[in-house]
Amino acid sequence: MSILDAFFAGSRLALSKVISHIENNGADLSRLLPVLYAHAGKAYKIGFTGPPGAGKSTLVDKLAALYVQGGKKKLGIIAVDPSSPFTGGALLGDRVRMQNLATDENVFIRSMATRGSTGGLAVSTSEVAMAMDAFGMETILIETVGVGQVELDIADACDTTVVTLVPESGDSIQALKAGLMEVADIFVVNKADRPGAAKMVSELNIIIDLKRQNTGWELPVVATEAVNGKGVDELAAKIAAHRAYISSDSRADQHRQRKIRATLAHVLDKEMKSLIRKRFLNEEAILDYIKRIQDGSSNPYEIANNILSSLKQDKP
Amino acid sequence: MSILDAFFAGSRLALSKVISHIENNGADLSRLLPVLYAHAGKAYKIGFTGPPGAGKSTLVDKLAALYVQGGKKKLGIIAVDPSSPFTGGALLGDRVRMQNLATDENVFIRSMATRGSTGGLAVSTSEVAMAMDAFGMETILIETVGVGQVELDIADACDTTVVTLVPESGDSIQALKAGLMEVADIFVVNKADRPGAAKMVSELNIIIDLKRQNTGWELPVVATEAVNGKGVDELAAKIAAHRAYISSDSRADQHRQRKIRATLAHVLDKEMKSLIRKRFLNEEAILDYIKRIQDGSSNPYEIANNILSSLKQDKP
């Protein structure tokens, strides 16, 4: 039986192998991904982003437990940890808390380090989610540390994006400036027992009120204490409400199109990057470019420009 | 007088405007960058990476002060803070400590948030460094939080890369696994007064010894307490030693070629991404792709593949 046969027969080991294959950019990936794509599209993907130390892992942990207790089996969890080269210990520590979940045969947990991923973070995360989706996971929780471009990519890849802040995250105005309002479907103020939490919740609500757009979705702010489970049921309710909102007759098609658009852009970027490496940055060409740059007859910008303008499209 | 004239006449305001132009991907950037490139190449760039909270800002601060006292004027500092959407307060706090430096007319400090940068982090950071270089800064310190791909890019962009760890960063073996050895030219164990620091230093030294490659450069591990300046002079000495190493007759050309190679790859990626958006992802094309994906007659992978295989090269 091939790995793919085992995968579609429900083998968790096969799922694990398929994910590794994606992460390692393995052979024949260009044939595997369309197959997964054809079988995916049924899972509901919830993204969690926010600063390091905001308690995202705990929040995901508790929410996952709530889902499993509530009968939402077939749960996938992806923990993307861009800082894992440094905080490997913390990562393991987090995941140890998930041991109860990990032994549940319907829950599949995968930690991903982003280091060395040639295709970039977003592509492989969304492809790993796609693999879980094709495998039959009904709900997929994706947790990542929000850093620059990352949270935008997560918002593209997920159906509902939860931005988690803590009172220590500082000024709420900062969240507004940084464009988090455009990314978040739900705000969580975690560690709500700490000083400044209530102030942060009310500030966020004021900002949301000021920036209110007539999209029909009122950005909620949920106060949680993930560590003892407080507010997690309310968060689950808001996620369900957001799901109902984007699944409504008038929204569903728009939402699907946004997802397709994002996938297309990601796939093209990744493939193009790989094509450039193969076609233009072979060793012989590079040495020639370096020579021309070193003798001053050209520069990297001119060379890039020449390469790109030499590309003609065969058919429109 | 044009901004570029003012820039080359030494106007700090013009430098500031040029950097903003780069960050905002402003008009005519494709004409500006080759000009900057032609004037750059003289600055020595030192990169600092490591986990959040490792004290990199303080370290950079103290090292900068040491350089300024030692007569190394014309100092540029770039603080890339990928998590600034969240930690805006902390960022400002850090920079407040630099106030003494900031009022020095030969020191130029720029904080960059990475959020929303369309070209990706690495390109604009190295382009901002290039602007400072072209402006006449002799030394440029670039500080960033190490997350996934970021520290690789920093290593590409800089002449000397300092990886800062703290005893709390956990297992030294993790640093090895994560490939930090390949990135680091110098390891710093900061907050060396904390428990576990001595153990971390000796473990790192053992690992370095085991992995020793005959490159001629022995990866040093420097213990620092940046907050009170301890070890900063030793760090400066190691940086100087690394600079002498890569500038030696037998190394210099190899080092320059590595930099050119990295620049070329970054520029090509960025330009390619922008070309894809312009040429293939115009609204009409996207709507057609979405239609084909939604009716099941195609998928994002096939579409990307078709686009890329339609690209022919005009001249070799």
Q: Are residues A290 and A229 in the same domain?
A: no
In this structure, the answer to whether residues B207 and B282 fall within a common structural domain is no
Q: What is the pLDDT of residues A239-258, one digit of tens each?
A: 999 999 999 988 888 888 88
Q: Output A315 or B223, whichever has higher pLDDT.
A: B223
Chain A partners within 8 Å of B96 (Cβ): none
pLDDT at B133: 97
Instruction: Tell me if A125 sits within 8 A of A78, measured CB to CB.
Output: yes
Say what the pLDDT of residue A35 is.
Answer: 94
CB of B256 within 8 Å of a chain A CB? The answer is yes
Q: What are residue A303's phi and psi, to 5 degrees? A: -65, -45
- Residue with more model confidence, A119 or B98: B98
Residue predicted with more confidence, B273 or B87:
B273
pLDDT of residue B172: 60
Q: Which residues contact B37 (CB under 8 A, 6 or more apart)?
A: A299, A300, A301, B130, B134
Residue B143 inside a domain? The answer is: yes
Contact across the interface for B267 and A304, Cβ inside 8 Å: yes
Confidence at residue B93, expressed as pLDDT on a 0 to 100 scale: 42
Categorize the per-residue pLDDT at B167 as very low, low, confident or very high, splitting at 50, 70 and 90: confident
Q: How many domains does chain A have?
A: 2
Which of A78-107 are b and which e, b meaning 16 or more Cβ less than 10 Å from the residue's Cβ? bbbbbbbbbbbebbeebbeebeebeeeeeb
Is B137 found in the same domain as B284?
Answer: no
Q: Worst-scoring range by mean pLDDT, A110-124, B168-182, B245-259, B281-295?
A: A110-124
pLDDT of residue B183: 80
Alpha helices in chain B (DSSP H): 3-8, 12-23, 29-39, 56-69, 84-96, 99-102, 121-135, 149-157, 172-177, 180-183, 197-210, 232-247, 249-279, 283-294, 300-309
Least confident of A122-131, B32-41, B200-209: A122-131
pLDDT at B83: 43
Is the confidence at residue B187, as pLDDT, over 50?
Answer: yes
Q: Which of A237, A225, A239, A236 is nearest to A58 (CA)?
A: A225
Select the residue of A90, A275, A308 nearest B308 (Cβ to Cβ). Answer: A275
Q: What does the pLDDT read at residue B169?
A: 64
Fill in the amino acid letter for A23: E
Asked whether residue A197 falls in the same domain as residue A85, the answer is yes
**Terminus-to-terminus CA distance in chain A, angstroms?**
42
Please indicate whether, in this complex, the C-beta atoms of B90 and A52 are within 8 angstroms of each other.
no
With a pLDDT cut of 70, the percent of chain B lying above it is 78
Q: Which of A54, A115, A314 sits opposite B178 (nearest CB)?
A: A115
- B285 and B254: one domain? no
- Alpha-carbon gap, residue A134 to A15, rounded angstroms: 10
pLDDT bin (cut points 50, 70, 90) of residue B215 is: confident
- Burial of residue A69, with CB atoms counted within 10 A of its CB: 0-12 exposed, 13-18 middle, 19 or more buried: exposed
pLDDT at B4: 93
Q: What is the CATH number of the domain that holds B49?
A: 3.40.50.300
CB within 8 Å of chain A, chain B residues 220-249: none
pLDDT at residue B47, rounded to an integer = 93
DSSP conformation class of B118: T
For an interface test with B, the pick among A123, A154, A156, A268 (most B C-beta atoms closer than 10 Å) comes out as A268
Element (H, E) at A286: helix A283-294
Q: pLDDT by residue (tens digit) across A70-123?
A: 887 799 998 876 444 333 333 444 444 565 666 677 888 887 765 443 334 445
Q: Same domain, yes or no, for B180 and B297?
A: no
Judged by a CB distance cut-off of 8 A, whether residue B313 touches chain A is yes
Q: Quote the pLDDT of residue B149.
A: 52
Q: Would residue B14 count as lying in a domain?
A: no
Is B28 within the bounds of a domain? no
Contact A205, A236 (CB under 8 A): no
B1 occurs within a structural domain: no
B2 located within any domain:
no
Facing B311 at nearest CB: one of A37, A293, A313: A313
The mean pLDDT of chain A is 81
| Pair A197, A281 in one domain | no
Hunting for tokens 């382009």 — which residue is that?
Answer: B127
**Cα B199 to the chain's mean position, in Å?**
29
How far is the C-alpha of A36 from the C-alpha of A27, rounded, in Å? 15
B291 and B218, same structural domain?
no
Pairing of strands A221-223, A311-313: unpaired
ipTM for the predicted complex comes to: 0.78
Work out the end-to-end distance of chain B between its first and last CA atoms, rounded to an integer number of angstroms.
42
What's residue A123's pLDDT?
A: 54
Higher pLDDT, B272 or B102: B272
Give the range of the structural domain holding residue B88, as residue numbers without chain letter.
41-259
Residue A10 located in a structural domain: no
Top-confidence residue, B99 or B278: B278
- B316 occurs within a structural domain: no
Q: How confident is the model at residue A63 (pLDDT cuts 50, 70, 90)?
A: very high
In whole angstroms, what is the distance from residue B55 CA to residue B77 CA? 16
Tokens of A113: 């380090």
Q: Are residues B142 and B288 part of one domain? A: no
How many CB pairs (< 8 A) connect A and B? 243
Residues B44/B138, Cβ–Cβ less than 8 Å: yes
Prediction pTM value: 0.72
More confident residue, B313 or B299: B299
Q: Round the average pLDDT of chain B to a whole number and report it.
A: 81
**Cα(A133)–Cα(A45) distance, integer angstroms:** 9
Q: Residue B86 CB: number of other CB atoms within 10 A?
A: 31
Mark whether A214 and A103 lie in a shared domain.
yes
Checking if the pLDDT of A47 tops 90, the result is yes
| Residue A315 pLDDT | 52
For A177-220, the pLDDT digits (tens) are 556 777 889 999 999 998 889 988 998 888 888 777 667 888 99
Chain A residues with CB-CB distance to B152 below 8 A:
116
| pLDDT of res. A115 | 46
The CA-atom distances, in angstroms, between B291 and each of A268, B92, B295 are: 17, 47, 6
Domain presence at residue A242: yes
Q: Which pLDDT belongs to residue A306?
A: 87
Segment A30-52 shows an average pLDDT of: 89
B314 vs A133: which has the higher pLDDT: A133
Assess whether A239 and A277 both reside in one domain: no
Predicted confidence at residue B88, as pLDDT, reads: 36
Of B87, B290, B305, Cβ closest to residue A257: B290
What's the mean pLDDT in B73-92?
60
Is A160 in the same domain as A288? no
Choose among B41, B64, B72: nearest CA to B143.
Answer: B64
Helix (H) / strand (E) containing A81: strand A75-81
